[in-house]
Amino acid sequence: MLQFISMAQAFGEIEKHASRQSLPTVLVPLEEAVGRVLAEPAVATLSIPPFDNSARDGVVLSASGLSAATRGSPVSLAGELRAGDSLEVANGIEGDAVRIMTGAPVPLWAESIVMIEDLTLNADGTATINRLPESGAWIRPKGSDIAEMSVILKPGRQIIPEHVQALASSGVVEAVINVKPRVGICSTGEELVDVKLGPPGSGQIYDSNRPFMTAMMRSFGCDVVVNEHVGDTLDEMVGFLNRVMETSLDLVVSSGAVSMGSYDFVKPALEAVGADIVFHKVTQKPGKPLLFAILPNGTLYFGLPGNPVSTVVNCRFYVHYALSVMQHEPLETPIRFRLENDIEKPQGLAVFLKARCIRGEGGALVRALEGQESFQTMPLLEMNGWIVLSEHVGSMQAGELVNFYPSNPRGLSDIF
Ligand code: AMP
Ligand code: MG
């Protein structure tokens, strides 16, 4: 078991173990794939556009029509092409020029298209070209957007409605996605009262980690299969571990009972059931007593310290990282922003600071908020992300560039 490891080492250990896990996949209709992670490449069954077509309402000119227009002569219109007309109809029309609508197929003989704003339609069935088109103007060539049989979306991408637009147009009607990761969560602590059963009695507090973890795991696209609270005894913790092992989960997260207190039973319980404890304690603030283990059946286990902000940070960064690795998602990279205020920080300890990115006149700035202690939840309502500073840096001054991660990790998933 590793102890007091660095943030980077912790991510490295998680990657090593999470990359050995794989999730089952399922084929679903495209609309149902939104929010899920693509498991197999999506391949275009059609070129986009599927045929040369017109980008404007106007007139399509042949080579002879174009030379007539260049001489300043009106061109006679041999017919009309609308969206939905076949290529055979388009190629069957002969002449100098044809009236054409947006999306209509362009005849093989077409030189260029003149948009309606650049011509005059005359009463005698001719058109006067007021502005000469460049060669190929307003013709959308076949395959210029998407090429048939090309991989248009790679595995690991979380599907968003914009993807559905491009996939559907190229004939992809179904997608192979990862089945939702099956997770278990539990909070520990005799002092806790279920939010649905309050109010807390003397010496008690509401259990906020459990609703948080439920919400966060769902926002990560997981299915929360086991959701419990256990008391501060070794027996109860062992009972919980045995239950999750029977349920065959991908990942389990508990909060509390991983520090140095007399009632911190997570580690002894993991040892009692024969789990492999990979590491305990990361040189970071908040959330230092983070524990990562592998249960005997292969399930990943995260023991998060119970302070509310420690639970948020460790879930947001380490648990999310494990889920990303398991689903082959592109790994998150930070946005670099300039600091608005000074930050005091000891060297040798990584910090996660509740922060707010503000769009100012001179560009975006990021501010570390007041109230950084791990029990202080009020700033969670104001923040929109985290400033993350590694062990290697010391205090920072206003104006310096820092790494910023949005509260919602998916917010950055497409910037890499
Ligand atoms: P622990 O990690 O169990 O030592 O708990 C650290 C601090 O977090 C203590 O003040 C606990 O009361 C608090 N805490 C632990 N679990 C929760 C929870 N589920 N909801 C709210 N606070 C908690
Ligand atoms: Mg506790």
192 lines ligand 1 (CB under 6 A): yes
Q: Is the CB of 299 under 6 A from ligand 1?
A: no
Ligand 2 geometric centre to CA of 313 (Å): 17
Longest dimension (CA), the chain: 97
Give dist(CA 340, CA 400) in Å, integer.
Answer: 9
Q: What is the pLDDT of residues 189-213, one digit of tens each?
A: 999 999 999 899 999 999 999 999 9
Rounded to the nearest 10°, the torsion over CA 405, 406, 411, 416 is: -20
Which pLDDT value is given to residue 413? Answer: 41
Task: Summarize pLDDT for 272-322 with one digit per residue, the tens.
Answer: 999 999 999 999 999 999 999 999 999 999 999 999 999 999 999 999 999
Closest ligand 1 atom to residue 289 Cα is 2
For ligand 1, is residue 189 a contact (CB within 6 Å)?
A: yes
Helix (H, G, I), strand (E, B) or coil at 361: coil
| Alpha helices (H) along 79-229 | 87-92, 161-169, 209-219
pLDDT of 149 > 90? The answer is yes
Confidence (pLDDT) at 414: 42
318 C-alpha to ligand 1 centroid (Å): 19
Instruction: Retrieve residue 36's tokens.
Output: 């899920």
Which of the four pLDDT bands, split at 50, 70 and 90, describes residue 229? very high
pLDDT of residue 263: 82
| DSSP H helices in 275-335 | 308-314, 320-326
- In percent, the amount of the chain with pLDDT more than 90 equals 94
The answer to whether 337 and 398 are in contact (CB under 8 A) is no
Q: Which mutation among 186, 307, 373 tests ligand 1's pocket best, with the greatest number of atoms within 8 A of CB?
A: 307
Mutation pick for ligand 1 pocket among 188, 190, 255 (CB with most ligand atoms within 8 Å): 255
Mean pLDDT calculated for residue range 110-131: 97
Tally of CB atoms within 10 A around 370:
11
- Which atom in ligand 1 lies closest to the alpha carbon of residue 258? 2
**Strands 112-115 vs 53-54: parallel, antiparallel or unpaired:** unpaired
Using a 6 Å cutoff on CB, does residue 261 contact ligand 1? yes
C-alpha 324 to ligand 1 mean position (Å) = 27
Which class for 310: exposed (0-12), middle (13-18), buried (19 or more C-beta within 10 A)? buried
Residue nearest to atom 5 of ligand 1 (CA): 306
How far, in Å, from the CA of 265 to the mean position of ligand 2? Answer: 9
Ligand nearest to the CA of 256: 1
Any atom of ligand 1 within 6 Å of the Cβ of 311: no
What lies within 8 Å, CB to CB, of 334 at 6+ separation is 388, 403, 404, 405, 412
Instruction: Assess whether the C-beta atom of 232 lies below 6 angstroms from ligand 1.
Output: no
Average pLDDT score over the chain:
95
Q: How far is the CA of 369 from the centre of ligand 2 (A)?
A: 27
Which neighbouring-strand residues pair with 254? 186, 303
Q: How far is the CA of 215 from the centre of ligand 1 (A)?
A: 18
Dig out the tokens for 368 from the structure: 């570390």
Mutate which of 190, 192, 210 for ligand 1 pocket (most atoms within 8 A of beta carbon): 192
Q: Ligand 2 centre and the CA of 229: distance in Å? A: 12
250 lines ligand 1 (CB under 6 A): no
Establish whether residue 257 lines the binding site of ligand 1, counting it when its CB lies within 6 angstroms of any ligand atom. yes
Please report, for residues 26, 239, 329, the alpha-carbon distance to residue 176 in angstroms, rounded to integers and kept in the order given. Answer: 5, 36, 14
Distance CA 308, CA 312 (A): 6
Separation between Cα atoms, residue 247 and residue 240, nearest integer Å? 11
**Single pTM value for the model:** 0.91
Say how many Å lie between the CA of residue 256 and the centre of ligand 1. Answer: 5
Residue 51 has pLDDT above 60, yes or no: yes
Q: How does pLDDT run across 77-119, given as a tens digit for each residue?
A: 999 999 999 999 999 999 999 999 999 999 999 999 999 999 9
pLDDT > 70? residue 63:
yes
Of the listed ranges 128-132, 145-149, 176-180, 258-262, the one predicted with least confidence: 258-262
**CA nearest ligand 1 atom 10, residue:** 307
User: What domains, with CATH codes, occur in the chain?
Assistant: 2-24+180-326 (3.40.980.10), 26-48+144-178 (3.90.105.10), 53-140 (2.170.190.11), 336-412 (2.40.340.10)
Instruction: Lowest mean pLDDT of 28-32, 36-40, 113-117, 406-410, name the range.
Output: 406-410
Neighbours of 272 (CB within 10 A): 15
